[in-house]
Amino acid sequence: MERLRKVRKLCSSGVAAAAGLILVSFQAGTIAPARAGVQAPSAGALSTDACSTAQLSDLMAVYTARPAPHATPYPLPPNTRSYVTHVIGARLQECSTKLRAEGGIAAADACLPRDGDVGVLWTQLQLCDALVNPKVPASPGIRWQLPPVVGSQSQPVIFVLGAGGDAAMLGKLISSLTVYLDQAGYYLADNAVLIPEPAWSPDAFATQCQSSPQVEGAIVVQITAAGAGSSDLFVSRKSWSAIEATALYARCERDRPAAAGVPTYIWASDIASAQNRYITVTPLTPLALLLTLGAAYEEFAPARTSSTTQTHVYPTPVPTPPGGWISQQMTTNATTVNASTLGGVAASFLASTITYTNSTAPLTQQPTIDQQTWDTLQNVALNLVGQMNCWQPPAKANNTFKDVVGGARRAPSYNPPPGLNEYAFGKPSAPFCEQPNPALDDHQGGESIRDVLPSPLPPRQE
Amino acid sequence: MRRLTAGFLAALATLGLSAPATCAAAASAPFASLADQARGLVGSWNCQTTRAGGLVEAEQDRIEPIGNGLWLHGTARSATGAGEPFYDFYVGYADARWVFIQIYPAAKFYFVGISDSAALSPSSWQIVYPTRQDQYQFRLTPDSFTISYPDLTQFCQRASTDPGMTPPSTRSTLSCSSWYWGNGHSGAVPLTESLTISRPQDGVAWWQGVARNASTGEVVYAYNLFDLPGKRISVLVNATSGAYAVADGSPSKDLNGSVWMVAYPRVQSGFAFNGVGYSTTPGQQDLPTALTLIFKDGYQRCSAQQQ
């Protein structure tokens, strides 16, 4: 009761507003919260097996309150300090264990309780609680949690998206790139699967990276330039289109598996360019051709007028009528060949023929893209895949990529990295590709010889 | 692909009956309890497989420990002594789950199955590599167990006699030295391993290696190398560390210069063979007389000569 009276006094003094309604009773090593004048909903020991600040906030508000004019915390009953220290210390230990299990060795060490001061421990627990249970801001997007294709862990995903440029072309480039990378059977980091997201901006990916632990990274393609043109021949049209694009890879980096990710660009391709030249035959219909030839002839031939006069003589009547009579009637027929009219008709037919087979200005037809651009974008995607230089499983080597339009394309050959015997020359793969290169250093992953050595290793040999 | 080794499951059943307390343990089950469970699998088993059409097949399985007891190696052989079944499997505990790897080169398949339970008598397993499949179950009864698929049922019970092992047709023994750098180590590892390579089945591109500590005789690691259409597979189990890996390699007959990618449990760069020597012609029919395994942080050199 003495304790209760002291706490009531504390509350009535108006100090420690945050803890004003909390009465704390320490009995036999347990702390039971109760409201002044209100029955406590439940009472029990403070948990020591959770990395959390739960149940402790109000207690610590009272604990750390320094009611004026006091310069020191309010005096606490005996054993309180050691009990709270024990609770917070145990929770910190739990935080450390969880962080270590998640691979955050440095964070785990930082969360080991080192100080006996309750205030310091409390601050440390608040920090470690935030590390273990990050308060991820509510995201308007849908999180990713696909079932794994291989293994039993959550399925990592790599998005393929675009940044700026023509939406239709970007969509096709993203689609082709994804299909090619899938068809080739490349081994991607952490068994990730590719998800094309042509409507996403890099910002959308950043949001997903922050909120979804399954997000591994994103391939961001950009169309840096595009052009098209055409020139007319007599019965054909020669058209060309050229597209240049680049690809970046943004890895979603986390210091721990469950932490909010931070996207970072870690790889960029060179500019991949491709062009296509099409010759489109513009067949003239026979009628248009005849008319055109006729018009051409008439253009140079003089205009001719044919005139025919026909005289019809009537017999003379007897006696002569008082009003006279028509003795004869002359009828004249004239025909003029008009070249300009014929030329107009021919031009009209010809124009309709040209319009029917026209394939010019392929890049301006929105929102779809024409066959020539479609084909060119496939070449750009193939070029980008080649620059990624991912290793292929042997069974998939020499694969060909196919699309609904255009011929089959041979998959780019793998150029092995330097460092292993005959593979003395070569180039590295993109970071999202896994490759069988035992010459990688420790920081790049790879199987360790410890897989064929006992564990623990024998003592070092001097 | 979906035929889970009958003998293995029979052993699971036995464990489920003999060690119910340990089966209820959490993922952090103590080592002793896991080792006890694994040891309970060791022995010989008689199994019957009844197919939907009424065909009944019999096989004899034998399970033996490798290393410190957390990994086991099993062989399934035909009860008649020839023909199918003829496959091997590994059972072990790694990464807080039980792992089962079946190797069946003659049928041109293999798979990795896991159970997320710490108990070795789970109600369900899933095949997680190379193709996911989680629709098979098995049931325990007081004196046996039954595993059911849509088109076959397997029934196993412990055998009273040991079927014995089919002797390998050829065998090659190499002596291995290792060099390791990293984590404070640098240079040669003071451990000589004796690597025995054998071919378990004639006419099948398949060989097995078992490396033992030359001093103590304890198995350090065991692996299988076999061909599938279009590629070559390596399954390695380190009996002392518990590490295991399934790797893909080139289908080339000559191992020399081949690089391998670890495909499971984590995709990562693997290892390379170098300095592979053969007594006659390269290939599965001729076991190597010398080889070097190159890893990112060291290499192991094996040869028929003492080093």
Give bridge partners of residue B64 from the DSSP assignment.
B73
Q: Does any CB of chain A come closer than 8 Å to the CB of residue B20? A: no
Residues of B in contact with A394 (CB under 8 A): 230-232, 248-251
Q: What is the pLDDT of residue B138?
A: 45
Average pLDDT for B207-216? 92
Q: Does any CB of chain A come closer than 8 Å to the CB of residue B259? A: yes
Q: Which of A435, A451, A454 sits opposite B245 (nearest CB)?
A: A451
Q: What is the pLDDT of residue A359?
A: 47
Q: What is the pLDDT of residue A152?
A: 72
Residues of A in contact with B189 (CB under 8 A): 453, 457-458, 461
> Per-residue pLDDT for A14 more than 50?
no
Percent of chain A with pLDDT over 90: 17
Q: Does any CB of chain A come closer than 8 Å to the CB of residue B231? A: yes
Q: Give residue-wise pLDDT tens across range A155-175.
A: 899 999 998 788 889 999 999
Q: What is the pLDDT of residue B220?
A: 92
Q: Give residue-wise pLDDT tens across range B215-231.
A: 999 999 999 999 988 88
Confidence band for A298, pLDDT divided at 50, 70 and 90: low
- Residues B270 and B247 sit within 8 Å (Cβ to Cβ): yes
Average pLDDT for A295-312? 75
In this predicted model, which residue has the larger pLDDT, B187 or B135? Answer: B187
Residues B224, B229, B232, B236: is their CA dihedral positive or negative? Answer: negative
Residues of B in contact with A452 (CB under 8 A): 178, 211, 220-221, 236, 238, 293, 295, 300
CA distance A203 to B189: 50
> Per-residue pLDDT for B141 more than 50?
no
Mean pLDDT of the residues in chain B: 77
Confidence band for B92, pLDDT divided at 50, 70 and 90: confident
List the single best residue of A398, A429, A434, A450 to mutate versus B (max B Cβ within 10 A): A450
With helix as H, strand as E and coil as C, how does chain A read?
CHHHHHHHHHHHCCCCHHHCCEEEEEECCEEEEEECCECCCCCCCCCCCCCCCCCCHHHHHHHCCCCCCCCCCCCCCCCHHHHHHHHHHHHHHHHHHHHHHCCCHHHHHHCCCCCCCHHHHHHHHHHHHHHHCCCCCCCCCCCCCCCCCCCCCCCCEEEEEECCCCHHHHHHHHHHHHHHHHHCCCCEHHHCEEEECCCCCHHHHHHHHHHCCCEEEEEEEEEEEEEEEEEECCCEEEEEEEEEEEEEEEEEECCCCCCCCEEEEEEECCCEEEEEEEEEECCCCHHHHHHHHHHHHHHHCCCCEEEEEEEEECCCCCCCCCCCCCCEEEEEEEEECCHHHHHHHHHHHHHHHHHHHCCCCHHHCCCCCCHHHHHHHHHHHHHHHHHHCCCCCHHHCCCEECCCCCCCEECCCCCCCCCECCECCCCCCCCCECCCCCCCCHHHCCCCHHHHCCCCCCCCCC
Residues of B in contact with A449 (CB under 8 A): 178-180, 293, 295-300
- Residues B288 and B276 sit within 8 Å (Cβ to Cβ): yes
Question: Hey, are the CB atoms on B269 and A447 less than 8 Å from each other?
Answer: yes
Q: Does any CB of chain A come closer than 8 Å to the CB of residue B128? A: yes
Structure tokens at A172: 């096709």
Q: What is the pLDDT of residue A99?
A: 86
Q: What is the pLDDT of residue A219?
A: 96
List the single best residue of B28, B66, B266 to mutate versus A (max A Cβ within 10 A): B266
What residue in A sits closest to B180 (Cα-Cα)? A449
CB pairs under 8 A between A and B: 171
Question: Hey, are the CB atoms on A454 and B191 less than 8 Å from each other?
Answer: yes
Q: Give residue-wise pLDDT tens across range B41-68.
A: 788 888 888 888 888 888 888 888 887 7
> Per-residue pLDDT for B142 more than 80?
no
Nearest to A216 by CA among A182, A268, A254: A254
CA distance A130 to A46: 19
The C-alpha of A284 sits at a distance from chain B's nearest C-alpha, in angstroms, of 53
ipTM given for this complex:
0.82
Average pLDDT for A14-24? 35
Average pLDDT for A345-353? 58
Confidence band for A274, pLDDT divided at 50, 70 and 90: very high
CA distance A373 to A361: 10
Confidence band for A346, pLDDT divided at 50, 70 and 90: low
Q: Which of A152, A394, A438 sits opposite B269 (nearest CB)?
A: A438
> Per-residue pLDDT for B17 more than 50?
no
Lowest mean pLDDT among A77-81, B65-69, B210-214, B235-239: A77-81
Q: What is the pLDDT of residue A287?
A: 65
> Per-residue pLDDT for B300 more than 90?
yes
The C-alpha of A457 sits at a distance from chain B's nearest C-alpha, in angstroms, of 8
Question: Hey, are the CB atoms on A452 and B257 less than 8 Å from each other?
Answer: no
Nearest to A270 by CA among A233, A222, A227, A303: A222
The C-alpha of B58 sits at a distance from chain A's nearest C-alpha, in angstroms, of 31
Q: Give residue-wise pLDDT tens across range A188-208.
A: 888 899 999 999 999 999 989
Residues of B in contact with A434 (CB under 8 A): 261, 267-269
Q: Which residues neighbour A22 within 8 Å (Cβ) at sequence distance 6 or greater?
A: A33, A35, A58, A59, A61, A62
In this predicted model, which residue has the larger pLDDT, A75 or A160? Answer: A160
Question: Hey, are the CB atoms on A150 and B128 less than 8 Å from each other?
Answer: yes
Structure tokens at B271: 């290892």
Q: What is the pLDDT of residue A368?
A: 62
Q: Which residues neighbour B214 within 8 Å (Cβ) at sequence distance 6 or greater?
A: B175, B191, B192, B193, B194
Q: Which of B128, B189, B299 sits opposite A461 (nearest CB)?
A: B189
Q: Does any CB of chain A come closer than 8 Å to the CB of residue B293? A: yes
Q: Does any CB of chain A come closer than 8 Å to the CB of residue B269? A: yes
* Terminal Cα-to-Cα distance of chain B (whole angstroms): 42
In this predicted model, which residue has the larger pLDDT, B91 or A365? Answer: B91
- Residues A134 and A258 sit within 8 Å (Cβ to Cβ): yes
Q: Which of B126, B232, B300 sits opposite A449 (nearest CB)?
A: B300
Question: Hey, are the CB atoms on A188 and B267 less than 8 Å from each other?
Answer: yes
- Look at the block and give the residue holding tokens 């495909």: B263
Q: Which residues neighbour B257 within 8 Å (Cβ) at sequence distance 6 or greater?
A: A421, A422, B272, B273, B274
Q: Which residues neighbour B278 within 8 Å (Cβ) at sequence distance 6 or greater?
A: B286, B287, B288, B289
Q: What is the pLDDT of residue B143?
A: 47
Residues of B in contact with A397 (CB under 8 A): none
Burial B158-177 (b: 16+ CB within 10 A, else e): ebeeebeebebeeebebbbb
Distance of CA A57 to the CA centre of its chain: 41
Q: What is the pLDDT of residue B11?
A: 41
Q: Give residue-wise pLDDT tens across range B262-299.
A: 989 888 888 888 888 888 777 666 788 899 998 888 89
What residue in B sits closest to A447 (Cα-Cα)? B270
Lowest mean pLDDT among A70-74, A152-156, B47-51, B161-165: A70-74
Average pLDDT for A365-371? 62
The C-alpha of B132 sits at a distance from chain A's nearest C-alpha, in angstroms, of 6
Structure tokens at A413: 């050959």
Question: Which of A1-15, A380-394, B81-95, B110-124 is most confident?
Answer: A380-394
Q: What is the pLDDT of residue A383?
A: 94
CA distance A21 to A45: 19
- Residues B38 and B7 sit within 8 Å (Cβ to Cβ): no
